[in-house]
Structure 1
Amino acid sequence: MQQEQNRTIGFIGTGVMGRSMAKNLLKSGYSMNIFTRTKEKAQELIELGAAWKESIEGVARDSDVVITMVGYPRDVEEVYFGEGGILLHASSGTYVVDMTTSKPALAEEIFEKAKAKGVEALDAPVSGGDVGAKNGKLAIMVGGDQEAYYKLLPVFEVMGDNIILQGGAGAGQHTKLANQITIASNMVGVCEAISYARKAGLDAERVLDSITTGAAGSFSLSKLGPRMLKGDYAPGFYVKHFIKDMTIALEAAEEMGLSTPGLSLSLELYQELAEQGDSDSGTQALIKLFERSNCYS
């Protein structure tokens, strides 16, 4: 493995989160190859010095570390296992890191197939939304071999400030699913709290000022609650991606024989929200369902 800052990082997927993560890596001095389905989404990174590659193959072939931040498990499978995919073209000694929230079993499969080629694989999903990505303050949950984790820790430290190796392959994904399960019920609670405050005739903004610093405090309450009050539904994290995450979590829980009623309810509500046209809104748009049903907006 090359010395720090001499490593060339390949980055595949420059959406809301990936773009900021890649930007921080560029600003810290790393050379970067990038590819995304829509080149225009990568234009800012190209202007900052990233080298555009015409294919995943080009990124895999010319990078020491390949980071992926794509949408769905099917996208992860295509990026890693497809005919032009990473594992077909990455050289022995390359490190690959999937930071997409995906299936633990898929992370284990990537790890095993990568190992057979002499490639080190980590699953490292993140939490912290668009704000955490922009500020380099993401929580990064890592699964894989300890040696590979420590080799890439300096890279992770550019993107996050809470970085923990959770265990072997798939452990990072399981941890992220636990994170999403927590957020799922919390988001319902935030919407209900705001609805209650408004129905009681209170100034909801003042209520948030009081409760965000107490035992009820959370990222959802302090960061997304104010966006709800302003009617700001711009995506820090898409509704459609949260539905994907919750679906994966529910399937994993069911496989383990675990009951998750809070997760099930939240998934139903977000699916209803998506059906009403908010798939591409931020997760805070859930408040719309409560506004409609409670008739106070």
Structure 2
Amino acid sequence: MQKQTIGFIGLGVMGKSMARNIMKAGYPLIGYTRTKEKAQDLIEEGMQWGDTVEAVARGAQIIITMVGFPTDVEEVYLGDHGLVNTAKKGTYLIDMTTSSPKLAKKLYKAGQEKGIHVLDAPVSGGDIGARNGALAIMVGGAQEDYEVLSPLLHTLGSNIIYQGTAGAGQHTKLCNQIAIAGNMIGVCESLVYAKRAGLDPENVLKSISGGAAGSFSLTNLAPRILQGDYEPGFYIKHFIKDLKIVLDETEALGLDFPGVSLAKSLYEELAEEGLGDSGTQALYKYWK
């Protein structure tokens, strides 16, 4: 039996690799991103191009979105020609953008009113996880919808966990970003210290990556720092967005997180210096 057509909106650093993995799994794919030229390689590999969000909505039974900011999510879903207003009844919509839990609940409710299934399913793993189909995927929404979509999600990730009702996926992703924020500071300070102390940083990494200090950032991003590679697996500008959402949510919960506030301020300094489109590992430049 032919697999359902999948729509994909947002073909950036991660979205492009995710879309490619969906096609490799044998799903017909229709895609849209703001700049068509950025999707040309996918079109040549067999992806159908949708000229608008509405065109994707008309052509797909399941639609994934991976866009930049909550304002983008709201426009793609709730605009006059957005998915909720143009998708067919019974369509499944999966927002994999890191966005606001409050917005995720709003989208879920709007979908319910139109007979459309909406999940929030943000991801972690960066460009490496996206390329390898090894993302961590954190899912919020109706459990029966998650079960229907589980085979598709397994083409994108290796650690896929249903977290609860609408918004739970986004809350879980914020937990992830909180942990990363402090860890990236530690990774960068560790490398700065190693150099100042006259050590060989590559040898230091060999010693500490497999011990208690081990982390994704230490294993995958610290070597990029040593190579002077600050290309984005995840943009600084998007991480600042995520940390702002964290602080909005912590305020609502009556929490004070000085670690997140510090990380946000450091990244904002780099963004002011024109590094917003660099990868999060460019935090190292703060000490340079």
Q: Given the two structures, how large is their TM-score scaled by the length of structure 2?
A: 0.99
Question: Which residue number corresponds to residue 176 of structure 1?
Answer: 173
The CA deviation string for residues 113-154 of structure 1, in whole angstroms up to 9 with x for no partner, is 101111111000000000000000000000001110010000
Instruction: Return the alpha-carbon distance in structure 2 between the equivalents of residues 223 and 250 of structure 1.
Output: 27
Question: Which residue number corresponds to residue 124 of structure 1?
Answer: 121
Question: Which residue number corresponds to residue 295 of structure 1?
Answer: none
Question: Which residue number corresponds to residue 65 of structure 2?
Answer: 68
| Alignment of structure 1 residues 173-252 onto 2, 5 Å | 173-252=170-249
Question: Which residue number corresponds to residue 271 of structure 1?
Answer: 268
Question: Which residue number corresponds to residue 14 of structure 2?
Answer: 17
Which amino acid letter does the alignment assign opposite residue 246 of structure 1? L
Deviation, structure 1 residue 161: 0.3
Instruction: Return the alpha-carbon distance in structure 1 between the equivalents of residues 199 and 251 of structure 2.
Output: 41
Aligned residue for 2:67, secondary structure, equals coil
Question: Which residue number corresponds to residue 42 of structure 2?
Answer: 45
Structure 1 residue ranges without an equivalent (≥5): 292-297
Q: Given the two structures, how large is their TM-score scaled by the length of structure 1?
A: 0.96
Question: Which residue number corresponds to residue 53 of structure 2?
Answer: 56
Which amino acid letter does the alignment assign opposite residue 106 of structure 2? E
Instruction: Return the alpha-carbon distance in structure 1 between the equivalents of residues 258 and 272 of structure 2.
Output: 21
Deviation, structure 1 residue 183: 0.2
Which residue of the other structure, out of 97, 109, 114, is the alignment partner of 2:111?
114
Aligned residue for 2:14, secondary structure, equals helix
Deviation, structure 1 residue 276: 1.0
Deviation, structure 1 residue 48: 1.3
Question: Which residue number corresponds to residue 93 of structure 2?
Answer: 96
The CA deviation string for residues 172-201 of structure 1, in whole angstroms up to 9 with x for no partner, is 000000000000000000011011111111
The CA deviation string for residues 196-227 of structure 1, in whole angstroms up to 9 with x for no partner, is 11111100110011100000000011100011
Aligned residue for 2:93, secondary structure, equals strand
Structure 2 residue ranges without an equivalent (≥5): none
Instruction: Return the alpha-carbon distance in structure 2 between the equivalents of residues 260 and 40 of structure 1.
Output: 41
Which amino acid letter does the alignment assign opposite residue 86 of structure 1? L
Deviation, structure 1 residue 25: 0.2
Aligned residue for 2:94, secondary structure, equals strand
Which residue of the other structure, out of 102, 105, 109, is the alignment partner of 1:105?
102
Deviation, structure 1 residue 61: 1.4
Aligned residue for 1:16, secondary structure, equals coil
Which amino acid letter does the alignment assign opposite residue 224 of structure 1? L
Aligned residue for 2:110, secondary structure, equals helix
Deviation, structure 1 residue 41: 1.0
Deviation, structure 1 residue 250: 1.0
Question: Which residue number corresponds to residue 146 of structure 2?
Answer: 149
CA RMSD of aligned residues (A): 0.8
Which amino acid letter does the alignment assign opposite residue 129 of structure 1? G
Which amino acid letter does the alignment assign opposite residue 4 of structure 2? R
The CA deviation string for residues 8-61 of structure 1, in whole angstroms up to 9 with x for no partner, is 100000000000000000111000111110001111111111110111001011
Instruction: Return the alpha-carbon distance in structure 2 between the equivalents of residues 175 and 188 of structure 1.
Output: 21
Which amino acid letter does the alignment assign opposite residue 172 of structure 2? T
Aligned residue for 2:287, secondary structure, equals helix
Which amino acid letter does the alignment assign opposite residue 32 of structure 1? L
Instruction: Return the alpha-carbon distance in structure 2 between the equivalents of residues 252 and 43 of structure 1.
Output: 38
Aligned residue for 1:77, secondary structure, equals helix
